[in-house]
Amino acid sequence: MQTHTLLMPLDMHLHLRDAVMLENVAPLSAYSFSGAIIMPNLVPPVDTKEAVIAYKERIMAAVPNDFFEPYMTLFYKNYDKKFLLDVEEDITAIKLYPAGITTNSEGGVSSFDIEEMRPTLETMAELGIPLCVHGETDGFVMDREAEFMSIYELLAQNFPTLKIIMEHITTKAAVDMLDKYENLYATITVHHLLLTLDDVVGGMMQPHLFCKPIAKRPEDLDALLSIALEAHPKVMFGSDSAPHPQHAKESCGCAAGVFTAPIALQLLCEIFDQFGKLDNLQDFVSDNAQRIYGICPEFKEVTLEKRTFVVPENYGGVVPMFAGEAIGWAIESVD
């Protein structure tokens, strides 16, 4: 039986929510990942030092028996230097959301006025705090990411020493942008390596495949696969695993988000194996992220086996991607 071992897998974009949902989903990521960048878009958002510390404590309480490091983030605001100096030891990055563009982002940035943002972003660059960006405009849904490229250029040009992470990229335009500026990096999800818009709405609507940014065209999928499979040194895995209660997904107001945390490594093995690139998976799921973020995660050795695994119908009331379907790899052991 074919097996493959990954060391210190990292999820560089993860939603854990809070309260009962946190208690249900956090152990699923902590089981197979050494750590994760935790998104701050709670209600209210994580935007103070006290909120960062308290949220990390709640996460650790939910995963008491696992070696797992939650790399905390702040919800972007125009913070002053004194505040950033005070909080820098408690965070790994700051996450910027355009206002109203995705779940719980109403308090995000409504105007990309560089001079207003300059004090915060220059201090972040000075302190080595990366800026993670949900890169979409409020335009036509299929064009939102491509339209945001001009804002990435504006940020990259004005703050050349600031590490800017283009989160969950979905387009060839973002792939092409990656090498244009030295300080641009990117995360890629597993579902965007598998889906096009046709998979989501080409037949019957598939609510558990609906996310933002929405899956795009075949040529976009091909571009993402190309850089992920080669483990491009500026890309890393970020699941954007986004749990919602089943009733919130299977409704007329279908919540955006795909829940992949419990099966992410299995799916990635399947994809990389299909293309004969398993040897590159270690860089994509850990080594690149360690280098880009300058982090040293908890040691964890995850061995996966090439055999049929039927994805559970739900995990604690959350329906995962490919629920009830068979996939080609399974987790054999975690040490």
Active site residues: 240
Residue among 187, 138, 229, 215 at smallest CA distance from 39:
187
Buried-exposed string 259-298: b where 16+ CB fall within 10 A, e elsewhere: bbbbbbbbbbbbbbbeeebbebbbbbbbbbbbebbebebe
Structure tokens at 106: 């109403």
Tokens standing for 175?
């792939």
In this structure, the chain runs to a length of: 335
Measured CA to CA, the distance from residue 193 to residue 199 in angstroms comes to 12
* Rounded distance between C-alpha atoms, residue 12 and residue 7, angstroms: 15
DSSP state of 241: B
What dihedral do alpha carbons 41, 45, 49, 51 form, nearest 10°? -100
Q: List, edge to edge, every strand of the sheet that includes 330-334.
A: 3-7, 301-305, 330-334
Q: What tokens does 204 get?
A: 């019957």
User: 173-207: string of b/e by CB count within 10 Å (b at 16+)?
Assistant: bbbebbeeeebbbbbbbbbbbbbbbeebeeeeeeb
Alpha-carbon distance 133 to 154, whole Å?
Answer: 13
